[in-house]
């Protein structure tokens, strides 16, 4: 990371009492950009690997994928119907009659010549004969068999010449993809359609950025692992499981560092260990005012980490910066660090708002922002201006067909059920005040479908 003050997580601007969400996002984006630049200078080719298409979903394409062929490879029919030369078309409403001289099937082209007054029965996907440029769909024609003993190949079809325009219902060579042009550009988070597209080009494997190694740990004396009986005041560690789910959805390689208790030496050892193995470390808990003091001290020794109070709810306290695997060593491997607040909903909100985009950016993705949509609030929502709020909601279609959203009950930062029952965040802007029933609000869906 650069030592320039404006890029440091400890920048004085960032220490303002409440940092607006957008400024926090910008600072994270800049630091990640610096880390990427550094690794490019080191010419780190180990960050790229080849994977077969069945392993490529949710990976990030490392180089432009150039098409080795035209798609389609030749002009072909987009409809089941009759192919002919458009010279015979006109604005006339009078029936035109063409002689059917053969059939072209997908994968079995017609090799003969189609002359004036003639046409060819053609199936969707079949190659267009070179004399033909237009296809009339079968349902717009009437087949007239010339003589009961003759086959369809010698029958005629009639249709109105004003029902189709020259060149219609034909897919042109290269109209989908052109030979040598980028079919998918570098930085794409690969979706099912991209895998299909690569396969349609005959490409069986893709060069992708290697999975990021993301270490996770939970900090807190009250935390117990699953399987242990709870004593008074202790709770099960749920954050590591929410984080595991979030990271699996992004196809990251997870290094689970377990629960670390509130002891400076243990915490420091855990951070050093995680930093020596991982590209990114995400911890939860231990960043609020009371607890941050010794965490701050450790962070200062291990790297450059800022402790932020962000103008958002939930997710107000958060630590962010870089850690080094070896204390005080300038060229030690750098690990991006997110110290998320301990409250279970705050963990998921801060992951959504800050960590997700940073991981995608660090992993080479060009499009890192999740899409937003809008819905009508089913009921009034209380909101104080001066902070961004991430309420949990259910997006559904209202009786008039318009998208509406309702909140999932109590919205406390520790109430994980409010997340579990929701299918979206209702995002209320920094300057936004109370919302009235029927107002439009921003909504971010949890699930991507295609």
Ligand X SMILES: Nc1nc2c(c(=O)[nH]1)N[C@H]1C(S)=C(S)[C@@H](COP(=O)(O)OP(=O)(O)OC[C@H]3O[C@@H](n4cnc5c(N)ncnc54)[C@H](O)[C@@H]3O)O[C@H]1N2
By CB under 6 A, is residue 392 in contact with ligand X? no
Q: Are 165 and 34 in contact (CB under 8 A)?
A: no
**Which residue's entry shows tokens 């053609």?**
122
* SS3 state at 22: helix
- Residue span binding ligand MOO (CB under 6 A) among the ranges 93-101, 145-153, 170-178, 312-320: 312-320
Residue 319 near ligand MOO by CB under 6 A: no
Q: Which residues contact 278 (CB under 8 A, 6 or more apart)?
A: 213, 214, 215, 255, 335
Binding to ligand MOO, residues 219-258 (CB under 6 A):
none
Residue 316 is a binding residue for ligand X (CB under 6 A): yes
Q: Does 417 bind ligand X (CB under 6 A)?
A: no
Distance CA 127, CA 170 (A): 9
Is residue 341 near ligand MOO by the rule CB under 6 A? yes
Q: Among 122, 413, 416, 428, which residue sits at the site for ligand MOO (rule: CB under 6 A)?
A: 413
- Does position 239 bind ligand X by CB under 6 A? yes
* Phi and psi at residue 282, to the nearest 5°: -120, 120
Question: Segment 52-81, which members bind ligand X (CB under 6 A)?
Answer: none
Instruction: Give residue for tokens 């004085």.
Output: 12
441: which 2 tokens?
A: 């609000």
For ligand X, give the closer residue by CB, 218 or 361. Answer: 218
β 388-397/312-313 pair status = parallel
Residue 89 CA to residue 85 CA, distance in Å, equals 8
Per partner kind, with CB cut-offs from 5 to 8 A, the member of ligand MOO, ligand X, none near residue 218 is ligand X
Task: Identify the residue among 346, 358, 360, 426 touching ligand X (CB under 6 A).
Answer: 346
If one asks whether residue 316 binds ligand MOO (CB under 6 A), the answer comes out as: yes
From the list ligand MOO, ligand X, none, which binds 418 (C-beta under 5 to 8 Å, kind-based)? none
Q: Coil, helix or strand for 397?
A: strand
Q: Should residue 315 be labelled a site residue for ligand MOO when binding is judged by CB under 6 A?
A: yes
Please work out the total of residues on this chain that contact ligand MOO, with binding judged by CB under 6 A.
Answer: 8
Site size for ligand X, by CB under 6 A? Answer: 25
* Choice between 170 and 240, CB closer to ligand MOO: 240
Is 19 one of the binding residues for ligand MOO (CB under 6 A)? Answer: no
Segment interacting with ligand X (CB under 6 A) among 98-106, 234-242, 322-330, 438-446: 234-242
Name all contacts of 231-239 with Cβ < 8 Å and 24+ positions apart: 238/344, 238/416, 239/284, 239/285, 239/340, 239/342, 239/344, 239/347
Q: Which does 222 bind (CB under 5 to 8 A by kind): ligand X, ligand MOO, none?
A: ligand X
CB 311 within 8 A of CB 388: yes
Residue 71 binding ligand MOO, by CB under 6 A:
no
Candidates 343, 388, 408, 418; binder of ligand X (CB under 6 A) is: 343
Gap between the Cα atoms of 331 and 322, Å rounded = 12
User: According to CB under 6 A, which one of 67, 251, 284, 343 is a site residue for ligand MOO?
Assistant: 343
First to last CA, the chain: 36
DSSP 81-117: EEEE-GGG--S--S-EEEEEEEEEBTTB---S---TT
CB of 326 to ligand MOO, least distance (A): 32
Provide the minimum distance between the beta carbon of 318 and ligand X in the complex, in angstroms, as a whole number: 8
Piece of 246-254, 288-296, 322-330, 434-442 that binds ligand X (CB under 6 A):
288-296
* Residue found under tokens 């690990």: 335
For residues 82-98, one letter each, b for 16 or more C-beta atoms within 10 angstroms of the residue's C-beta and e for the rest, the string is bbbbbebbeeeeeebeb
Q: CA–CA separation, 270 vs 72, rounded Å?
A: 55
Tokens of 129: 């004969």
Environment class of 63 (CB within 10 Å of its CB; exposed 0-12, middle 13-18, buried 19+): middle
404: three-class secondary structure by DSSP = strand
Q: Kindly state whether residue 346 participates in binding ligand MOO, applying the rule CB under 6 A.
A: yes
Work out which of 341, 356, 358, 441 binds ligand X, going by CB under 6 A: 341
Per CB under 6 A, 353 contacts ligand X: no
Closest separation between CB of residue 368 and ligand MOO, Å?
23
Distance of closest approach, residue 303 Cβ to ligand X, in angstroms: 19
Q: Among residues 163, 238, 273, 276, which is the contact residue for ligand X, using CB under 6 A?
A: 238
Q: How far is the CB of 221 from ligand X (least distance, A)?
A: 9
Q: Report if residue 21 touches ligand MOO, rule: CB under 6 A.
A: no
Query: Which C-beta is closer to ligand X: that of 81 or that of 344?
Result: 344
Which residues of this chain interact with ligand X, rule CB under 6 A? 218, 220, 222-223, 235, 237-239, 284-289, 291, 314, 316-317, 341-344, 346, 413-414
Which residues of this chain interact with ligand MOO, rule CB under 6 A? 313-316, 341, 343, 346, 413
């Amino acid at each position: 990371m650069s030592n320039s003050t404006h890029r440091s997580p400890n920048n004085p601007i960032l220490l303002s009492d409440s940092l607006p969400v957008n400024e926090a996002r910008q600072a994270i984006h800049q630091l990640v950009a610096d880390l990427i630049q550094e690794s490019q200078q080191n010419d780190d080719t180990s960050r790229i690997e080849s994977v077969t298409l069945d392993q490529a979903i949710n990976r990030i394409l490392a180089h432009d994928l150039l098409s080795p062929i035209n798609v389609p490879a030749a002009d072909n029919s987009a409809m089941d119907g009759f192919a002919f030369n458009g010279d015979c078309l006109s604005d006339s409403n009078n029936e035109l009659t063409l002689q059917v001289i053969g059939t072209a099937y997908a994968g079995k082209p017609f090799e003969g010549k189609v002359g004036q007054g003639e046409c060819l029965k053609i199936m969707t996907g079949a190659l267009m004969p070179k004399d033909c440029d237009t296809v009339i769909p079968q349902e717009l024609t009437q087949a007239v068999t010339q003589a009961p003993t003759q086959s369809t190949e010698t029958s005629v079809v009639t249709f109105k010449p004003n029902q189709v325009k020259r060149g219609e219902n034909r897919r042109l060579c290269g109209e989908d993809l052109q030979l040598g042009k980028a079919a998918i550009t570098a930085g794409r988070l690969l979706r099912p359609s991209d895998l299909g597209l690569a396969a349609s080009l005959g490409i069986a494997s893709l060069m992708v950025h290697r999975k990021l190694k993301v270490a996770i740990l939970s900090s807190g004396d009250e935390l117990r692992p699953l399987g242990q009986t709870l004593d008074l005041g202790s709770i099960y560690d749920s954050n590591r499981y929410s984080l595991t789910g979030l990271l699996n959805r992004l196809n990251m390689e997870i290094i689970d560092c377990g629960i670390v208790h509130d002891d400076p030496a243990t915490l420091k050892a855990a951070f050093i260990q995680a930093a020596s193995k991982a590209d990114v470390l995400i911890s939860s808990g231990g960043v609020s005012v009371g607890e941050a003091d010794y965490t701050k001290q450790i962070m200062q020794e291990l790297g450059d980490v800022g402790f932020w109070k962000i103008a958002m709810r939930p997710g107000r306290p958060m630590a962010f910066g870089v850690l080094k695997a070896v204390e005080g060593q300038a060229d030690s491997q750098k690990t991006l660090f997110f110290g998320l607040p301990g409250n279970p909903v705050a963990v998921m909100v801060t992951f959504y708002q800050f960590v997700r985009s940073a991981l995608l950016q660090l992993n080479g993705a060009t499009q890192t922002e999740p899409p937003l949509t809008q819905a009508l609030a089913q009921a009034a929502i209380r909101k104080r201006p001066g902070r961004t709020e991430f309420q949990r909601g259910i997006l559904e279609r209202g009786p008039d067909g318009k998208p509406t959203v309702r909140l999932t009950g109590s919205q406390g930062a520790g109430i994980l059920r409010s997340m579990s029952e929701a299918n979206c965040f209702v995002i209320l802007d920094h300057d936004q005040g109370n919302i009235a029933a029927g107002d439009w609000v921003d909504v971010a869906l949890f699930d991507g479908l295609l």
